[in-house]
Structure 1
Amino acid sequence: MKITASAVLRQDKVNAHNEAPVCIRITADRKTTYKTLFRIPITDWDAKSKEVRKTATNAGVLNLKLKTALAEYTKTAYMCDVENADAGITAIRDKIHQSCSLDLFQYAETYVQRLAEVGKFAHHAKVSSTMERFQKFTGRTTFPVNALTEKTLKDYEYHLATVRKNKPNTITANMKIIGKLVNDLYKEYRLDNTLNPFTYYKKRYVPVERVFLDETEVAAIENLKIRPTNYLYDIRNIFLFEIYTGLRISDILTLKWKNFDGKRLHKTIKKTKKTIHLPLQDKAIELIEIRKRCVLRRFEINPEDYIFPYLEYDYEQVPAKTIFTAISTTTARINKALKRIKEKAQIEKSFSTHTGRHTFSAIFLLKCNGNYYALKEFLGHGDMKTTQTYAHMLDKSKDDIIEQLNTPTSHEVRC
């Protein structure tokens, strides 16, 4: 059987980011199979030398991987032919797929690529960083899944706790990602699950209360004297808008004027893809009106413009990965500025943008008699179980009120 193998860029498989897969193409008796290695921008491919251009990012690493895979898969194809002269391209494909897919790192890389292709960039970043840390810990470029033992898991847990100083829940989150990949691999290839160390692995979670602000702390932020020309003015208002609406910061940053009809917001939530029609309380409407007056001093209102103009790109016009990066960077800047807000308002608790969503939930449950079904709709949750994780906030808020009632004061306590 005549067998040929070569590296190719499949320009018929270009994705939305103008990236194409680099593959090993194996042909046997005029029939062809492909094995994808990684994706690169199509401009990074050198068609003449059949490798990644030397000027491309990580060219050295990628070309080494390319050459190694080409040699390995060529050898596998010839060995398959030697073992069975009647073996065709299907047998060769299965042999190659099995040999590489039973490697945990290769399997993880394929999974990460799929996450990027479907636009799950937050999870993509989390899985990528988790597996990079684990690979660095092992000191290996390949890791056969049957080499993973309970001792490996315990040693890695110890490493995360002592060297990286990770907290218990962070360690568990790391192990959960590795465990998902290992469990999927065992299931997909019908391996003997008694050899799977995650069969016996117990997740250890330490209960963590969600941080939220009480009404006194919210009022302290509302009453801060900040000049409109100070950058903290808009930061404060964005945070308050999250407290008044319960929206995630990613949805606030992508709010456009066309989403606001004067009383409600009509928007598709980025995380759940669920369309909401959210009635706004007066304080939230007033913050939008403040923004409108500011814009009208210089321009007409453009329905396609952002209400809070922090993002450089139009999320409806650029690749999802670009807007994900822009939102992440902007959120980090806002969280840094919130530390100044905390100091100015003399609030002891540390808080971030997501604390606004927690605060909305706590105040909502208290004032609406623990109506979780209504809260679920306001928060845009897809599952009631997610909403019910806010239950401890209701108890905590009630405790705070009793503490206020028990505190002697010459003023009337507003509950």
Structure 2
Amino acid sequence: MTALLHLAARSAWNRRFVLGLVVLSIALSTFLLLGIERLRQDLRANFAQAVSGTDLIVGARTGPVQLLLYAVFRIGNATNNIRYSSAEAIAQHRGVAWMVPLSLGDSHRGFAVLGTTTGYFEHFRHGQKQRLVLAQGKPFEALYDTVVGAEVARRLGYTLGQRIVLSHGDGAMAANDHADKPFTIVGILAPTGTPVDRTVHISLQAMEAIHLDWMAGAPLPGQAVSAEQAAQRDLTPRTITAALIGLKSRAAVFAVQRDVAAFRAEPLLAILPGVALDELWDVVGLGERGLQAMSALVATVSLAGLVAVILAGLNERRRELAILRAVGAGPRQMLALLAAEGLLVTGAGVALGALACWGTVALAGGWVQAQFGITLQLLSPGYAEWRLMAAVLAGGLLASLVPGWRAYRLSLSDGLSPRI
């Protein structure tokens, strides 16, 4: 068997240029298969770790997935706000342990601005119920204090004590800047790998203060309120975007959810984050399967190329195969020789594709994290990756049996005296 593999390797090396192209093709298909699988797993892990320890998310009555996306992942916009008094009433429910209000809508140089309370730093959990940790500074205390996420500080080069200006809405228009009410960075959060890293945190009162002289998304002409004047006003928030709810007992989750749905003051929706995530994966599952199908198609085309190359080379190798038959090699050994050759080529392509995949994760992981907020983990191959690589290898072996069977049927005399 060792001699057969050695002979197959030498034979493949003699046709290294053509087979090298096949190896690159198989490597590309393996890279796509493993890359999509790695991205799929890490994307799910990032979404799942974005919020933990929160039993319910309460917002205006809309779709559960939409509420989850804008309340946790800062994607999209709320169809409507809810009254802060309603959130406070829910916080008084006998089954509720804590409530953290969230107010969204503004931005800072492309990053979301979140108005909340100091309870956010106490109760919010991510990953395996990990608390938020301040890498530097402290939570906001004064009206115009702000705590920025790790990625905001890193990408914009912010340090403690710097002053920043927030923008109304998405900040597309410079005229929408709240330049008259600058904020001072008093804290920088440690990295979490969640949307928290890409968020600027201020107090609910500060969110109210910067909008005192605004209405319907535009500043009121001639009614500017200075930062000092705003500090003297009643800054009790009137509306918020959503609220995170923690319960005294997980057993009460459905009872509280029903009570929120039956809330009479205004129509509200309470969702379970885990259930909403499952719905989200149902929505994007078709796209996942489409990408996997495209990668599998690329792998199939690559293996078809392997068959075509070996078959095309059979006519040139008839005399070589006939000589092997003449010195004692049987038809089964010819079949095994070409199968081993195909398996070696496939194995080289799979190994090259796997190395390219992990090399890309190692080199581009930081860039992907900075640009898209997705943490790519450089891990040893798991069950799914091994299964994909084994499938490509098995496909290569089966594909190489086609030219092997053709060589098996070639007669000795046909090889020694080929027709012209």
TM-score, normalised to structure 1's length?
0.24
Higher strand content, 1 or 2: 2
- Structure of greater relative contact order (alpha carbons < 8 Å, 6+ residues apart): 2
